[in-house]
Amino acid sequence: MMKALGLEGIVATETALSLVDGERGELVYRGWRAKELASQYTFEEVVYLLWMGHLPNQEEADHFRQKWSQNRFLSFSLCQLLEGLPREMGMMDTLRTAVSSQAQGQGLWPPNKEDALAILAQVPSIIAYRYHFLQNSSLPKVRTDLSHTAYFLYLLYGKEPEPALARALDAYFILTVEHGLNASTFAARVVTSTRSDIYSSLTAAIGAMKGPLHGGAPSEVEGMLDQIGDISQATEWIRHRIIAGDKLMGFGHRIYKTNDPRAQALRNVAKELAGEEKRFRLALEVESIALDLLQELKPGRKIYTNVEYYASVVLSAVGLPTELYTPAFTASRIAGWCAHIFEQAEVDRIIRPQSEYIGPLPK
């Protein structure tokens, strides 16, 4: 039987982008705590920090936002592609196909920030265009005066969102934009290491993000809360799941052995956003019961609430349908992937690990 190695504890590269300290529960972007960035800065400013190495001054921030908003238009050919894909194709498959289709011409190495910004700016438009097409409705007209997250919500719902909702989604995007060498980021860096183009690297990353063990968790949390339904059912439902050995969505993390700092920050955002809303009260109670039962039934396992749990609550509060949870995660993380693509291109060394052969030898 093959060992489930999973590359735990293996250092594959050096990075100046983020520190994920699982023992202390710290997430740091280029020397700044992510939870502080989420409460004090915008998503655009954090992307600038990741790509450029420092937070922007006012002039730099304004110039960056202007270039960003100018890339929101979708070409006629891309719109035709989005309409021509099979209706049963999922949104992550649509995103993967749309990003891949943008690779045109030669001389795409090394990756550049202009191409990256164009892709990043267009992802909300791609999601919204396809969403409206499937709903037989029209995409709202392009606007360049809204932030990335406010524009995303505006495109989906056809009206400018309340500032609190846009700010909540902004905090979610900041807290999920980057997280070390996770599966999708590693996929992007491996492809980049071959000197392939940024479109291929991002296509590989989106393919990894599609997997339910990576990008699908927030929608799984939503399903879990739906199944529990009422707080009176929570203890029995959760106890049965744990005893049966089923995974409890929204709890546990491969890295964090204490509280996930992103979950803590999003919990605060959800509290401000939801107040006494029934769904949020259910989430709070379920979290408390689940942590108590995990401690009782799995003593010493150090299983805590992870970011996907409260990501589900926040995404639900801003009105996103569950099928757009993972695409929304992608609309954030694509900026982090690009930062890693730039860093890997500077290293310019192919990633080529080895495997241990455990099959039969020739007789």
Here the CATH number for the domain that contains residue 246 is 1.10.230.10
Quote the domain boundaries for residue 235. 217-317
Buried b / exposed e across 201-211, counting CB within 10 Å, b at 16+? Answer: bbbbbbbbbbe
Stated pTM of the model: 0.88
Tens digit of each residue's pLDDT (9 = 90 or more) over 128-169: 999 999 999 999 999 999 999 999 999 999 999 998 889 989
Give the torsion sign (CA, 323, 324, 329, 330): positive
- Does some domain include residue 352? no
* pLDDT of residue 230 exceeding 60: yes
Same domain, yes or no, for 189 and 58?
Answer: yes
The residues, any chain, with a CB within 8 Å of residue 220's CB and separated by 6 or more, are: 212, 249, 250, 308
Could you say which of 148, 308, 340, 343 is catalytic? 308
* pLDDT of residue 106 exceeding 90: no
Which pLDDT score is estimated for 2? 53
Last residue of a domain, one of 278, 296, 317: 317
CATH number at residue 72: 1.10.580.10
Same domain, yes or no, for 275 and 338?
Answer: no
Query: Are the C-beta atoms of 318 and 169 separated by less than 8 Å?
Result: yes
Same domain, yes or no, for 26 and 50?
Answer: yes
63 is catalytic: no
Backbone angles phi, psi at 29, to 5 degrees: -105, 110
Nearest-angstrom CA–CA distance, 281 and 351 = 46
Tokens 């592609």 appear where? 81
- Does some domain include residue 4? no
- Number of structural domains found in the chain: 2
Last residue of a domain, one of 300, 317, 334: 317
Same domain, yes or no, for 335 and 241?
Answer: no
* pLDDT of residue 251 exceeding 70: yes
Which pLDDT score is estimated for 299? 85
CA separation, residue 269 to residues 263, 279, 316 (Å): 10, 14, 13
- 331 or 267, which is more confident: 331
8 is catalytic: no
Same domain, yes or no, for 186 and 232?
Answer: no
Could you say which of 178, 253, 340, 343 is catalytic? 253
**What value does the mean pLDDT take over residues 244-256?**
77
Q: Per residue, what are the HEC states of 72-140?
A: CCCCHHHHHHHHHCCCCCCHHHHHHHHHHHCCCCCCCCCCCHHHHHHHHHHHHHHHHHHHHHHCCCCCC
* pLDDT of residue 274 exceeding 70: no
- Does some domain include residue 6? no
Residue 187 pLDDT class (50, 70, 90 cuts): very high
